[in-house]
């Protein structure tokens, strides 16, 4: 999707210094990131080198490991598992799939062949009948669940319709970290599924009320609350513009042509994945049309 250079964590001090120096020399104005970053005690973010594959988050304990999302396929799952094994030999006991899209669950069988897979009922329904893993989506979160991994509480909850109709978000209070799935992408337009823009914005409002030191996005660089706020503000600006144009009677094509968001001109846009300003505007316009037809 675009050129990226990533730097693995170097465990040799000299290599670590040289990696850091090279990174700063090449990209002094860009945010640095490694494939694996420690976010707090026992908690790590895996930032995928493949933009088509999701990021992951994993929490380690002696009795087992919790993994949030496992990547696009078995190849990406093996990359993730290699990094997990560099840190801990403990078994992967739980996997959370934040939603049904393949790029977030394709590595399940490699990363945790014996793990309990946690999802929403909607995700299980979307996978059922289409995937040999379907029988393993054997723990369903209706609204929220608190899981303890070692001594660490993990809050897993369904924020309502957002990116899809069955997203999960995972908050780690001890480490002040949240794994958002595709409810947040760093400096990027999202691809929008059959979710709900208004509910999505409310979900982001709820996240922003949490104490957040780190935000693990569905894709791209590790972020913080400031970047999460900017993504939230993008959706709000898009919503407000589309709603005003819709009420003025403009057609969908007219709205797509007139949408203007210069404050977010640096956001990544991917026409191939229907992840552009115009695509996002079209999704919300369609949602407004559906609401207008309801009795």
Cα dihedral 157, 36, 21, 266 sign: negative
**pLDDT band at residue 129 using 50, 70 and 90 as cut-offs:** confident
Q: Which of 73-77, 87-91, 130-134, 269-273 has the lowest mean pLDDT?
A: 130-134
* Residues ≥6 apart with Cβ < 8 Å to 62: 90, 150
The predicted structure's pLDDT at residue 76: 97
pLDDT digits (tens, 9 = 90+) for 149-169: 999 999 999 999 999 999 999
**For residue 46, what is the DSSP state?**
E
Fold (CATH) for 34-235:
Metallo-beta-lactamase; Chain A (3.60.15)
The predicted structure's pLDDT at residue 134: 62
The pLDDT of 92-111, averaged and rounded, is 96
Cα angle value 72/74/75 (rounded, 5°):
85
How many CA atoms within 13 Å lie on the side-chain side of 25? 6
The predicted structure's pLDDT at residue 26: 30
Question: Does residue 29 have a pLDDT over 90?
Answer: no
DSSP 149-176: ETTEEEEEE--SSSSSSS--EEEEGGGT
The pLDDT of 276-293, averaged and rounded, is 96
Give the start-to-end residue ranges of the domains of the chain: 1-32, 34-235
Question: Does residue 139 have a pLDDT over 60?
Answer: yes
Counting residues of the chain whose pLDDT is more than 70, the rounded percentage is: 86
DSSP 232-266: HHHHHHHHHHHHHHHHTT--HHHHHHH---GGGTT
The predicted structure's pLDDT at residue 43: 98
pTM of the model: 0.87
The predicted structure's pLDDT at residue 59: 99
Question: Does residue 96 have a pLDDT over 80?
Answer: yes
**Mean of all residue pLDDT scores within the chain:** 89
Cα dihedral 205, 225, 160, 144 sign: negative
Cβ(118)–Cβ(95) below 8 Å: yes
The predicted structure's pLDDT at residue 19: 33
The predicted structure's pLDDT at residue 13: 42
| Pairing verdict, β 56-61 and 43-46 | antiparallel
Question: Does residue 12 have a pLDDT over 60?
Answer: no
């Amino acid at each position: 999707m675009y050129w990226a250079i990533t730097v693995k964590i170097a465990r040799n001090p000299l290599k670590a210094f040289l990696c850091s120096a090279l990174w700063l020399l090449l990209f002094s104005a860009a945010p640095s990131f490694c494939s694996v970053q420690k976010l707090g005690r026992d908690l790590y973010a895996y930032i995928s080198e493949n933009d088509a594959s999701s990021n992951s988050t994993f929490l380690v304990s002696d009795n087992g490991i919790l993994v949030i999302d496992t990547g696009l396929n078995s190849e990406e799952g093996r990359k993730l598992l290699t990094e997990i094994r560099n840190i801990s030999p403990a078994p992967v006991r739980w996997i959370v799939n934040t939603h049904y899209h393949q790029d977030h669950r394709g590595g399940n069988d490699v990363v945790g062949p014996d793990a309990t897979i946690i999802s929403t009922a909607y995700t299980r329904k979307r996978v059922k009948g289409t995937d040999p893993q379907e029988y393993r989506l054997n723990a369903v979160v209706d609204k929220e669940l608190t899981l303890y991994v070692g001594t660490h509480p993990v809050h897993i909850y369904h924020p309502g319709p957002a990116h899809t109709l069955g997203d999960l978000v995972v908050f780690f209070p001890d480490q002040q970290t949240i794994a958002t799935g595709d409810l947040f992408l760093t400096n990027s337009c999202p691809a929008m599924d059959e979710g709900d823009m208004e509910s999505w914005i409310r979900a982001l409002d709820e996240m922003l009320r949490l104490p957040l030191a780190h935000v693990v996005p569905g894709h791209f660089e590790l972020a913080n609350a400031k970047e999460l706020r900017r993504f939230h503000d993008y959706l709000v600006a898009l919503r407000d513009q589309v709603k005003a144009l819709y009420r003025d009677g403009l057609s969908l094509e007219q709205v797509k042509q007139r949408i203007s968001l210069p404050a977010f001109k640096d956001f990544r846009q991917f026409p191939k994945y229907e992840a552009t300003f115009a695509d996002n505007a079209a999704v919300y316009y369609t949602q407004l049309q559906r609401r207008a037809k309801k009795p």
